[in-house]
Amino acid sequence: MKKGVTIKTEHMHNLHFCIVTASSPEEACDTVETEISEWGTENNWRTIGGCVSADNEVYSTYDKEKEWGNSRWCPKEGTTVEDINRQVVGWMKVDDYYKDNFTKCSEGKHKSPFDWYSAKKYCEDMFQIEMSKVRLEKEGREFDVLQDYYYDWELGECGVTHLDVSQLEDDDPTNKRYIVYVDMHT
């Protein structure tokens, strides 16, 4: 596995990237925390793991002195925007387990409600994948986390959401775009 690239999910935790414009990495993380503060319940919560800037500056909130409260997903030193792009493109691959259960259900060979859940998940993933694929093919380019989205505002999924509300954030030439790591527990 390439340095700085993390896996998709682990034990009900997933990684969602939120893109913001801010004057510092700390402000970027705080902005995301504020913007998504209403999302979730006591059983659905999040931890901000840090961020990577458009010019590959890495900021991690990981604190080795803390026993609890660290994010499972923090950017590693040396992580680049290209690493993150490859990671998201990896999420856009069809899950064979879901696909097989979709086929079982389509053929009337399902054995449990979980087969139907997997079939539903396969359809949701295919919708997201195809929406991205059509948009990128139309524009003749590859996925770019700094301008594209995936599972937009679906914070309980591995995805990419842009939180810049207006162009005002871009007016200050010292501001940067940041990719903030959000560890979602769902």
Q: Give the chain as a 3 state SS string.
A: CCCCCCCCEECCEEEEEEEEEECCHHHHHHHHHHHCCCCCCCCCEEEEEEEEECCCCEEECCCCCCCCCCCCCCCCCCCCHHHHHHHHHHHCCCCHHHHHHHHHHHCCCCCCHHHHHHHHHHHHHHHHHHHHHHHHHHHCCCCCCCCCCECCCCCCCCEEEECCCCHHHHCCCCCEEEEEEEEEEC
| Same-domain pairing of 16 and 103 | no
Task: Look at residue 122 and tell me if it is in a domain.
Answer: yes
Q: What percent of the chain has pLDDT over 70?
A: 81
Mean pLDDT of the chain: 85
| Same-domain pairing of 105 and 166 | no
Task: Look at residue 64 and tell me if it is in a domain.
Answer: yes
| Same-domain pairing of 150 and 76 | yes
| Same-domain pairing of 25 and 70 | yes
Q: Show the domain range for 123.
A: 93-142
Structure-model confidence comparison of residues 108 and 71, the more confident one: 108
Q: How many domains does the chain have?
A: 2
| Same-domain pairing of 36 and 97 | no
**Res 67: pLDDT:** 54
Task: Look at residue 123 and tell me if it is in a domain.
Answer: yes
| Same-domain pairing of 75 and 22 | yes
Task: Look at residue 109 and tell me if it is in a domain.
Answer: yes
pTM, rounded to two decimals? 0.84
| Same-domain pairing of 152 and 77 | yes
CB 183 within 8 A of CB 72: yes
Task: Look at residue 46 and tell me if it is in a domain.
Answer: yes
Q: List pLDDT tens digits, range 67-98.
A: 555 556 778 899 999 999 999 999 999 899 99
| Same-domain pairing of 58 and 71 | yes
Q: List pLDDT tens digits, range 121-176.
A: 999 999 999 999 999 999 999 999 999 999 999 988 999 999 976 555 556 788 99
**Res 74: pLDDT:** 78
